Every structure is written in C-alpha cells, then in structure tokens.
A = this chain, B = another copy of it.
Amino acid sequence: MADWQEISGGVTAPRGYRAAGIVAGLKPSGLPDLALIVSDVDAIAAGVFTTSQVRAACVDYCRQRLEAKASARAILCNAGQANAATGAQGWADALESAQLVGEALNIPPESVLLASTGVIGHRIKMEALRAGIPRVVAEASETGGDAAAKAICTTDLVTKSIALETHFGDRPVRVGGMCKGSGMIHPNMATMLAFVTCDAAVSPHLWHDMLRRAADRSFNQVTVDGDTSTNDSLIGLANGQSRTPAITEMGAEAEKLEAMLTAVCQHLAKAIARDGEGATCLLEVRVAGAKDDAAARQVARTIAGSSLLKSAIFGRDPNWGRIAAAAGRAGLLFDQENLRIQLGDFLLMENGQPLQFDRQAASEYMKKAAAGAYLKEDTVLISVSIGNGAGSGAAWGCDLSYDYVKINAEYTT
C-alpha cells in the first residue's frame, strides 16, 4: 500500500544532514545528554509547540525565530534541565546556547533552533553546556542519527527513531525522525520532543502546513496520561538535498511526501505511547463515521485517554460500556443509535446496543494482542463508528497499570 520503505539512519538518513549525541555532563546519571542536528545547507524549518501557558525558554525562542525566518541550519537539544520556569536568566541561557552553536558552526545564531527536556525550574548547567557545544559540533556526522536519538532521552526506556524512503521519479527522497517522551514520568521531567529531517525541496508554507497536519494525525493523538508539558516541540527541516524538483503546491508528489511525513510521525507517536510509564501494551483506537477527520480524532483521543478504559485494558477486560461512555462524552454530537464498537474482530455493540459475545475469547484476544500475536506489535485495537460521516481518525494510548502509579507516586523530590 505505502509507496515507501523503511531504511536505517534516523534523522541522518536524508541527504545533507549530520548529527551527534554526547555526554556533556548535564544529566547526573552520566548518560548522553546533548544532541545536535545540522543541515549542510539552509533548510526550510517549521515547528509545532506546546500550547501551555507555562513554557520553556526554548519554546518561546524557537517561535520567535521561526516567525522571523522559516529556515534553519541546526537544532541543539539538551536533556537534564527543562529550562522552564527559569525567567530572564533562562532566556539569556537560551540566547547564549544559540550563540555558541552559531560560533562553532560558523553560522548566524538565528539559524540555530533549541529544545530542552528535563526538570522544570532548573536552568541548563551552562558550564557543562559551554564545554559540550564544540564537542557535539565536532562529532556531528552522517551516521550520528542513532547517537542523537539516545542523547535526547530522559526517562524513556527505549530510543525512538525511524527513516522512510520513497522515490520521485528515479531519485530517492527521505524523511527521518527521532523523538523522546514516555508520559510525564519523573516529576517535572515532562516533554515530548520530536525532530524530523527531510531532503525534499518544499516551499516554506507548504512544509509548515504538512508538518502541522502530520502532528494533528500523530503526536496530538497520543495520550499517555492527559498531561502536556512546558517544553513539547516538534521541529521539521526540509533541506532540498535530494535534488528533486521543488514542491510548491499540493499535488501528487506533495501528497506522497505528506503521507510519508505522517507515517514517520505516527511511528514516533506510537513509540511514545508504547513507552508510557508502566504500559504493558499499545492501545490503538480507530474512529469512523464522523462528520470530519478532526471530529473522529477527537472521539478517538477521548476514548484512548479514558483512565477507566485504560484500567480495563490492563485487566484485559472487553469493557464496551467504558468505550461507549468515553465516546459519548467526547464533546461531539452523534446519535447513540448509530454507535458501533469492535474490539479486534469482536463486535461488542451495534446500533447503540450491546451484543452477546464471547467475553472469554475477547479477553484472550486482548492478552494475545498485547503480547504482539497479531500485528507483530503489542497493540490492542478498538474500532468505533459513530455514524455515516466520511471522517475517520486514530489515536494511541497505553494501558494504566500499577506501575504508572508506582512510578509517579514513589518518586520523592
């Protein structure tokens, strides 16, 4: 179906990108904590950022930069300190970081974008950062994608990256991506960060729209615990180094590129949900029959985010009532007599009324699906239809386990 294939390399799979991840001494653990992505040439740049009123300095910084100029050469990401709720000094630290990267790369500081993840209320350890920047610049290479993906992690159990390749004519076009996030685990270790690189040539406005739509169909559809962060950022670069013709308006190639970009973002988003703290499986909720895609996504998100349903999934309980109740309170008008709910292949509800089904077998399905018996992934699939509309969409979450509470309650500040 999809007209692309997975390749290795993450964010350095597309042409004209280098990356690195090093131990700069920002994290107490001594694990890698400073990542850099560099494009050989000016790349069209777009970003999607947290809507929280409590924001990190890097978020305000990137917004300002991207409003002034829709291009960039580098992204610096530190892990360990979020540089949120740090006031004027945090802002000054952000500016200095960009300045130092600019000097080391011999580019204007305005061409450097920033991201931070770590403890809220803590400034970046600037001494360690100052020493680290020249080193991470020196280490940046065309095979550095995996190292960079490691260095942006905080409480993540696994690194998350992917790259896809398609062809425009006979020329390869690639999109790579990496992200971090696993719900807000440790106190204030908040944050979903994602970076996408692409070597197609796209006009700035089109690239921004594509990235925004891809985010709406991926990261914005992930719910681990409903909490969003001060630092959430998705930044996308498109540097044209595939040497394919510039895409300046929607059409076959633009759609292909957007589909691939969306696939990259969805892969990363699912990886975040699967890495949710305490999660034992990925929950995928598909909604159809809504008036439009946005409405379908809203219903899917509400279902995937229900604590009650998440607890039921953990208990492998085919609880149609919780699915119906979550759909009903999603804030969208629909006729309850059109409600249809399916769990895997088990039809649980039709025309708004519960059906007889083999509960034991449905529970077995959940056990097997969570163990990866069907999709080669640990995915429990719920399909819901709310009417006859053409809108459809999906959301991803995870189950709610004892370990979620344990991880989040037992940390002592």
Contacts and interface: CB of A to CB of B under 8 A. Distances in A.
Contact of A354 (B51, B85, B307): B85
A120 B329 contact: no
A7 interface: no
Contacts of A354: 85, 120-121
B315 A408 contact: yes
Contacts of A226: 226, 305-307
A377 interface: no
B352 A319 contact: no
A54 B336 contact: yes
Listed residue (A318, A320, A408) with the most chain B CB atoms within 10 angstroms of its CB: A408
A121 to B, nearest CB: 4
A53 B121 CA distance: 41
Contact of A308 (B333, B334, B408): B408
Interface stretch (A128-136, A154-162, A199-207, A398-406): A398-406
Interface string A215-231: 00000000001111110
Contacts of A333: 53
Contacts of A336: 53-55, 85
Listed residue (A54, A306, A413) with the most chain B CB atoms within 10 angstroms of its CB: A54
A148 to B, nearest CB: 26
A55 B55 CA distance: 39
Contacts of A337: 87
A328 B55 contact: yes
A195 interface: no
Contact of A413 (B55, B229, B308, B359): B359
Contacts of A308: 184, 187, 225, 227, 408
Interface in A293-339: 305-308, 311-312, 314-315, 317-322, 324-330, 332-337, 339
Majority secondary structure, A binding face = loop
Given A315-B412, A352-B85, A405-B311, A52 B329 contact: yes
Contacts of A229: 325
Interface string A377-413: 0000000000000000000000011101110111111
B317 A187 contact: yes
A385 to B, nearest CB: 13
Nearest to A351: B87
Instruction: Across the A-B interface, give the 3 residue pairs with the lowest CB-CB distance, nearest first.
Output: A54-B328, A188-B321, A311-B408
29 contacts: A52-B328, A52-B329, A53-B328, A53-B330, A54-B327, A54-B352, A85-B324, A87-B352, A120-B324, A121-B353, A121-B354, A187-B319, A190-B325, A226-B307, A227-B307, A227-B325, A228-B325, A230-B324, A308-B408, A311-B405, A312-B408, A314-B405, A315-B412, A317-B409, A317-B412, A317-B413, A402-B405, A402-B406, A404-B405
Given A315-B410, A400-B409, 9 more contacts: A53-B336, A120-B354, A121-B321, A187-B317, A225-B308, A228-B329, A229-B325, A315-B408, A359-B413
